[in-house]
Amino acid sequence: MISLMPNTPLAIELPPAERTQLEHWESAHGTPQQVALRCRIILGAFAGQDNVSIAEQLGVSRPTVQLWRKRVREQGIGEVWEIAPGRGRKP
């Protein structure tokens, strides 16, 4: 039997300094667009939005929102700058 898990988003709690840092990265001119998008995802999650509304607002998939919500919750806000192996420009 397949049991369905409710689609409850992972709660994100950030200290004020980390939230300020995310807002700075999101609006800085030198921030890569992929990092700014990740910051917007996390700020939306911190504001209490659900995954579907964040995904629709930012034009990304719901699994992308879930992925970044989970990564930042487990590994911290510095993770938004990390590029997964095999991604990005090849040397």
> Does 86 reside within a domain?
no
Q: What is the pLDDT of residues 19-47, one digit of tens each?
A: 999 999 999 999 999 999 999 999 999 99
Confidence of residue 83 (pLDDT cuts 50, 70, 90): confident
Count CB atoms within 10 A of the CB of residue 37.
Answer: 18
Report yes or no on 44 lying in a domain: yes
Residue 6 included in any domain: no
Q: Is residue 11 part of a domain?
A: no
- Taking CB atoms within 8 Å and a gap of at least 24, the contacts of 64-68 are 65/41, 66/9, 66/10, 68/38, 68/41, 68/42
Question: Containing domain of residue 27, as a range?
Answer: 16-80
| pTM (predicted TM-score) | 0.82
Instruction: Find the CATH number of the domain harbouring 32.
Output: 1.10.10
Per the domain annotation, does 1 fall within a domain? no
Residue 4 lies in a domain: no
